[in-house]
A and B are shown apart, each in its own frame.
Chain A
Amino acid sequence: MSHTKFIARLKKATQLLWKNWVIIVLLGFSLLIRIYIFKNIRPGFHTDSITYLILSDLETVRTPGYPLFIEAIQFINDLFSMTTDYLGLIVLVQMFLLGTLNCFLIYKLAKIITGNNSFSFVVGLLYNFDYLVMGFEFSILTETLSITLILITLLLYLEIFKGKKYAPYAAGLSSVFLLLTRPTFLTLFIGLLLITAIVYFRKIIKEGFFKHFRKAILIFLLINIAGIASWSLRNKIKFDYFGISSLLPYQLRHYTNNFFHKYKKDDHELMNTMAAIYLEENLNAAIFEARLMNEMNLTGPEISKLFLKMNLKLIKDNPGDYIKQIPDAISKYYGVYSYWWTVPHQKKLLNKRKPVSRILRYFFNIYQFLFTNSIAQIILLVIMPIILLFLVRKNKSAFHLVCLCEFVINYNFLVSVLSCSADNLRYRVPVEPLIVLISLPSFFLLVKNAPKSIKKILHKKPL
């Protein structure tokens, strides 16, 4: 290579770096903060965590998304003989790969909404200070992967309507991986399409919008259906259970446990016996399941199927008992901001002595205020999104994205709250970055547009 050519390439590379300095600084910062956190933690391990560890042992309760992610990491580890700290390795990849990627994706989405590089940088930066979200990065649970997949799905889904050929395939695959990681997102893809239909309603009627994207939408839809069908079929063939997950009864029991004593016996002898055993075991699902396996030779999927029927029957017979618990479930979902899931790490990560921990603690207190103060909550969850929708109404792409984000936030809220009344804080985690993403740009755009609006008002001619 000649000297001048080399200089020219070096110049080009420097220009490229300079052009992307925001992203480099953002990623550098998110890596640094994760190094600090990683040094101070041990992998968070909960009872749910054990169900994801081995892909080949999966029954019907869990879906394969997260176990597949773990298996991919462990495959590389087995191949290159890297470490015997298997849980530590999962957390390492989760924090440094997914966490950093999430930070970048948030930046990208913020840029689509506001079009401002510096502000998007701030939003991306703030992602690293949400301790609740961060806490799940060092736990062996599905939350962090779900955040990544939600953000990727949204970004790729938007690309479909920019006419990118790869987008329907990529968005479809990402959506399938999402619903196979977190089955609550089973019908999300239908919702996304509905929201698009509403946003582009005029164009659909007047300009044949859907005609133009007919093929892409069909591909996106078919990939999702194929993904759901394939795992459901696997469950049917292997366990005689058709569906992607049999988790629902174990979620619903948090509601029905409070009125399980009202269970009315019917003709179904097996269900009657199961109900009696459940009461005998003081409504402890783990011991109840173990006992049914031991004494009645029932398999996990068989138990789930009957347990779901029992729960639905209870709710059908006592709808009032179910409905009156919903406000409590809502307050557990939106009204809490706690380090409960990361105990005992908060002692190190949120203490007052170390400077970084002090910053994390400072932001923890801010987030806690936002999610526990009713007025702040109304501003955060209702007023700011409405303002943002109004402010970006003329920018179709941004408006579309904000509508999609709001839909994902509310979809997750509804499914989580209606299916479970306990530990709901955890179910908020996958959409928490979106909540912040929607509320912060409203502040920014309000401040940015304020001088213009004031000028307009001042120069308005009186009638």
Chain B
Amino acid sequence: MSNNLKKIIIVSSVFLLISSVLLLSCFNRTNYFLNKTIRLVSLRLIQFERLSIVRKEDYKFNFYEDHYDISFFNNRTKNWRLFASHTYPNDITPSIGDLEIILKNGRISHFEIEGEEKKLKSFLILNFFAHKISSKSKGIIFYKDGNWRAFGL
């Protein structure tokens, strides 16, 4: 096989691979964003679980319809301060309109739904859905013991 032919084959296969991934991401857009949302929420939960141990601070996640806020508890002023705010991409929304979760010492210690404190009997599911494919349920399951995991891919 000549060197030129080899080069053509390599370049075209790389081009094909990249374009097929891009095409797939266009067709599978909603599903992709749904997965990405759950992944980012999960990874941020992992981050702040660890930070709550290392920095000895409490962190709070507030999930609203179009965004979620992360706050920390200021031990000196004794109030919550906003740390970061993230929006959901596309038309993705959570199933619960107003959910509050508090992370303390690397564990989820507190749940509040629409301003009302909840004690979990077994588990709580925070589903995310896109209006285009509302039949698919993907989200995060929070257990009574303070553990949680993402599910539904």
A79 and B38 contact, CB distance less than 8 A? no
* Given A47-B50, A53-B46, A287-B56, A79 contacting B153 (CB threshold 8 A): no
The residue in chain A whose Cβ has the minimal distance to the Cβ of B43 is A53
Chain A residues with CB below 8 A from B123, complex form: none
Chain B residues with CB below 8 A from A79, complex form: 21, 24-25, 28, 32, 35
Bound-complex Cα distance A295 to B149 (A): 34
B50 and A74 contact, CB distance less than 8 A? no
Main secondary structure of the interface of A (DSSP, over half): helix
Q: Mark A53-80, 1 if CB is under 8 A from B, else 0.
A: 1100100000000000000001011110
Q: Does A38 contact B (CB under 8 A)?
A: no
Q: Does B62 contact A (CB under 8 A)?
A: no
Q: Does A447 contact B (CB under 8 A)?
A: no
A54 and B44 contact, CB distance less than 8 A? yes
Which of these, B47, B55, B152, contacts A287 with CB under 8 Å?
B55
| A82-90, A131-139, A400-408 - interface stretch | A82-90
Binding site for A on B (CB under 8 A): 21, 24-25, 28, 31-32, 35-36, 38-40, 42-44, 46-47, 50-51, 54-57, 72, 74, 76, 81, 84, 149-153
Bound-complex Cα distance A47 to B149 (A): 20
Chain A residues with CB below 8 A from B35, complex form: 77-79, 81
Bound-complex Cα distance A452 to B32 (A): 65
Q: Does A7 contact B (CB under 8 A)?
A: no
Bound-complex Cα distance A295 to B79 (A): 12
Q: Does A294 contact B (CB under 8 A)?
A: yes
The residue in chain B whose Cβ has the minimal distance to the Cβ of A82 is B153
A294 and B39 contact, CB distance less than 8 A? no
With contacts A84-B153, A286-B55, A290-B72 known, what are 8 further pairs, Cβ within 8 A? A74-B39, A78-B35, A79-B24, A81-B153, A83-B153, A84-B150, A290-B57, A294-B76
Chain A residues with CB below 8 A from B43, complex form: 53-54, 86
Chain B residues with CB below 8 A from A190, complex form: none
The residue in chain A whose Cβ has the minimal distance to the Cβ of B77 is A294
Whole-angstrom distance from the CB of B117 to the nearest CB of chain A?
25
Bound-complex Cα distance A81 to B34 (A): 10
Bound-complex Cα distance A57 to B70 (A): 13
Highest count of chain B CB atoms <10 Å: which of A53, A84, A290: A84
B21 and A50 contact, CB distance less than 8 A? no
Chain B residues with CB below 8 A from A294, complex form: 72, 74, 76, 81
Bound-complex Cα distance A57 to B44 (A): 10
A78 and B55 contact, CB distance less than 8 A? no
B38 and A84 contact, CB distance less than 8 A? yes
Chain B residues with CB below 8 A from A45, complex form: 46, 50
Bound-complex Cα distance A11 to B39 (A): 48
Chain A residues 272-289 with CB under 8 Å of chain B are 286-287
- How many chain A residues touch the partner (CB < 8 A)? 23
* Given A77-B35, A84-B151, A50 contacting B55 (CB threshold 8 A): no
A54 and B153 contact, CB distance less than 8 A? no
Chain B residues with CB below 8 A from A86, complex form: 39, 42-43, 150
The residue in chain B whose Cβ has the minimal distance to the Cβ of A84 is B150
Which of these, B24, B44, B55, contacts A290 with CB under 8 Å?
B55
* Given A79-B32, A294-B81, A295-B76, A54 contacting B40 (CB threshold 8 A): yes
Whole-angstrom distance from the CB of A383 to the nearest CB of chain B?
43
Bound-complex Cα distance A47 to B56 (A): 13
Bound-complex Cα distance A367 to B26 (A): 50
Highest count of chain A CB atoms <10 Å: which of B21, B32, B55: B55
5 closest Cβ contacts across the A-B interface? A84-B150, A78-B35, A50-B47, A81-B153, A290-B55
Chain B residues with CB below 8 A from A295, complex form: 76
Bound-complex Cα distance A57 to B151 (A): 23
Bound-complex Cα distance A295 to B76 (A): 9
Bound-complex Cα distance A49 to B21 (A): 28
Bound-complex Cα distance A313 to B32 (A): 50
Chain B residues with CB below 8 A from A54, complex form: 40, 43-44, 47
Bound-complex Cα distance A75 to B139 (A): 18
B56 and A53 contact, CB distance less than 8 A? no
Whole-angstrom distance from the CB of B104 to the nearest CB of chain A?
15
Chain B residues with CB below 8 A from A83, complex form: 153
The residue in chain A whose Cβ has the minimal distance to the Cβ of B28 is A79
B31 and A81 contact, CB distance less than 8 A? yes
Chain A residues 282-310 with CB under 8 Å of chain B are 286-287, 290, 294-295
The residue in chain B whose Cβ has the minimal distance to the Cβ of A83 is B153
Whole-angstrom distance from the CB of A450 to the nearest CB of chain B?
42
Whole-angstrom distance from the CB of B148 to the nearest CB of chain A?
11
Whole-angstrom distance from the CB of A234 to the nearest CB of chain B?
19
A77 and B54 contact, CB distance less than 8 A? no
Chain A residues with CB below 8 A from B81, complex form: 294
Bound-complex Cα distance A446 to B36 (A): 56
Chain A residues with CB below 8 A from B72, complex form: 290, 294
Bound-complex Cα distance A82 to B51 (A): 28
The residue in chain A whose Cβ has the minimal distance to the Cβ of B51 is A50
The residue in chain A whose Cβ has the minimal distance to the Cβ of B150 is A84
Bound-complex Cα distance A79 to B22 (A): 10
Chain B residues with CB below 8 A from A286, complex form: 54-55
* Given A77-B35, A78-B36, A84 contacting B46 (CB threshold 8 A): no
The residue in chain A whose Cβ has the minimal distance to the Cβ of B56 is A287
Bound-complex Cα distance A81 to B38 (A): 11
